[in-house]
Structure 1
């Protein structure tokens, strides 16, 4: 039995990188005090998200490099803890020099995984280039996948990670409340409810441990919904911050919990890829995780 403790942060982050690192250091200290093996930070925790989705050329987060000094600083802070964080990644020739909305997972040993946000809401494509893939990677706590915010609205994204062997998926967001019809109570806002529903559905349909971090408070013209949480493979919320800033913390024996969820109703095992629109008939079958580890 190997129990892992996950911490998911709901916190606000702006443009000042030193302030961002001060907040990260504080959250990391609190996560370690709770025994966390993993700390998930929100989308754009290094340098802040867009203050508006109205194509403001003056609203540019600092552009960072995966192998740059800021990520090295995070690596130095992480130590034995797996830390995931979102940031604005400097563009390249393939992106037409537009930056990417990216995230990394690190420990003190270096970068474990890197993801560029694939799905872009509203006018985000005028500020960021899109990523083009979802891939799982190995970490000290197990095989993990990452996605960013709107990625989780697409079942194919989480399914691709689960098929690639991820038993833990971390989703980092800067998810706001509704701007067109906001609720007077943030917990009742339709976009808060959708945020929570996506988290639970993605965990349940793939029978994985789901770790969801989100920005909190306000930034520009957005009111962020917080609602960081850890969800088990049955879609049950183990802990949540609600609509307040804070840390959601929960301990899970990942392999035992995932194996138990998949033992009889194995959603990956029981797929029929040839029946799905656009899926080739020769798509490889998914080997049940229990059998795969036993072989």
Structure 2
């Protein structure tokens, strides 16, 4: 029992570290390199083999609890604990196969076994419109874009794999040291040759990644395009057509709705004039900010404002609001008052908030004085292989993102923006109604950001300079598919091999006592 309690304590330490790596709950992102090490020690040297999966479950609970607390307004209070509990149980089950497999194979798969599983979860999550990528472990490095640059070649899950590989390599060092000092703790020792090779790979790959990243960061900074001053306008929630931070609502009766729209127009007019006075040439307004068709007569004032200020405007609107099946749109208004030939239509509905529109996946770009402009809306930017990538592939040099996020997620959404910018080498201008506007440069540098979790939000104008990107990233052409394919094949190979070993006989190597230098050689016993 003392060993079980000690193992639970070590796994809980991993859970705490995985909780505080998230921005908003500590943002201690350097812990990403070591957070899983206590979990490994608990699973392989402290807990009995039959309890080893518990370490994985406890660690996963900490990570997912941090995420679900951010998503509380979307998933509901019951799910704040329910999600991490269910996922913790799932990881406890999956983790229960890890130690027997790695002991049976004498640790040859150890450094890649868990990284493959976690990374496979990330690449497969993009297939679901419910999940997106907000939980990706790589995003914890958003505060350090200089360390993330190779995602423009390999994808963001490749950085996740690299971080987890580093954790596994460090854990292997700790396990080896424990074997030498307390040989009785483990069932199976790590063979010296496997240890040396695995540690060299597990630590060599991260070192190579980060050395390459620093070189790429310096190079991309030298290749950045012309400077453009942009603005993100947050009007606050006082006169919006929806209910607070939700995209649903009830349309006001007349004349109240007309009066509300007039007040909103006055707010946006004043804020946009402020942005233009500060030199902004591109100004982005939020998602669903208008409940009418801005291409019609009601949008005349918007076109007049663009002409008067000589700016390009990006305007979110939903003419059939609050119909959940209505298209969620964004229009581009040019400085001469003309409109983009067609609006951008949101591709990924937020099903948990009631959107039910039928998506039509197309990514138009717009020739503007600031450069070739692309647009995606809110949830679209969470899907790395579509959204920003396909817009950039269509020729966009800068991307505007009207959005409406729950205030509880104000500390999260800029992270995925950072990675979309790096992946595709384009700057992003995201505007929210009142909580988390952000401006990100093409190299991933954060230019301006708001993170307000108060229900009332705030009125704000963010103005910053970005550079039109080189927009020549390998990722833009290939997406994350090559790396994702390798990961899925790796997971399949790992479990096929485990099944083969199981069919051959469920035998595990055991300790032979009295071997010099703490080395243990293979005996065998049937696993209980």
| TM-score relative to the length of structure 2 | 0.40
Counterpart of 1:41 in structure 2 is: 285
Query: In 2 relative to 1, CA 211–126 (structure 1 residues): closer, same or farther, beyond 3 Å?
Result: closer
- Larger RCO: Structure 1 or Structure 2 (Cα < 8 Å, ≥ 6 residues apart)? 1
- 312, 317, 329: which one pairs with 1:82? 312
Shift of 1:177: 3.0
CA RMSD of aligned residues (A): 2.7
* CA distance in structure 1 between the partners assigned to 2:388 and 2:476 by the alignment: 15
Alignment of 1:59-208 (within 5 A): 62=291, 64-79=292-307, 80-90=310-320, 98-107=325-334, 108-112=336-340, 114-124=343-353, 128-155=357-384, 156-178=386-408, 191-208=409-426
Pick closer, same or farther for the CA change 1:267–1:24 going to 2, 3 Å. Answer: same
User: What is the SS of the residue equivalent to 1:110?
Assistant: coil
Counterpart CA distance in 2 for 1:272 and 1:130 is 21
1:49-86 CA distance string (max 9 Å, x none): xxxxxxxxxxxxx3x23531122221111112001111
**What is the number of residues matched between the two proteins?**
230
Counterpart Cα distance in 1 of 2:311 and 2:479? 38
SS at match of 2:433: strand
Given that 2:371 and 2:397 are in contact with CA atoms closer than 8 Å, whether structure 1 keeps it comes out as yes
Give the unaligned 5+ runs of structure 1. 47-61, 179-190, 217-225, 279-295
CA gap 1:213/1:273 in 2 versus in 1, 3 angstroms = closer
CA distance in 1, matches of 2:484, 2:442: 26
Instruction: Give the counterpart of 2:430 among 207, 212, 215.
Output: 212
Closer/same/farther in 2, CA of residues 34 and 200 from structure 1, 3 Å limit: same
- Is there any run of 5+ residues in structure 2 with no aligned partner, and where? 1-224, 242-259, 453-457, 486-528
SS in structure 1 opposite 2:443? coil
User: How big is each residue's C-alpha offset from its partner over 1:212-255, in whole Å with a ceiling of 9 and x where there is no partner?
Assistant: 10011xxxxxxxxx22121111111112234243111112342x
Instruction: Tell me if the contact between 1:41 and 1:172 (Cα under 8 Å) persists in the aligned partners.
Output: yes
CA deviation after TM superposition for structure 1 residue 2, in Å = 4.5
Aligned residue in 2 for 1:246 = 460
Q: Secondary structure at the match of 2:339?
A: strand
Residue pair 2:441, 2:467 contacting (<8 A) in 1 also:
no
Q: Which has the larger radius of gyration?
A: 2
Residues 37 and 272 from structure 1, CA distance in 2 versus in 1: closer, same or farther, beyond 3 angstroms?
Answer: closer
Alpha-carbon distance between aligned partners in 2 of 1:32 and 1:19, rounded to the nearest angstrom: 20
CA displacement at 1:270 relative to structure 2? 7.0
SS in 1 for 2:407: coil
The Cα shift of 1:27 comes to 1.1
Partner-residue secondary structure (3-state), 1:17: helix
Higher strand share: 1
User: Does 237-246 or 113-122 show the bigger shift?
Assistant: 237-246
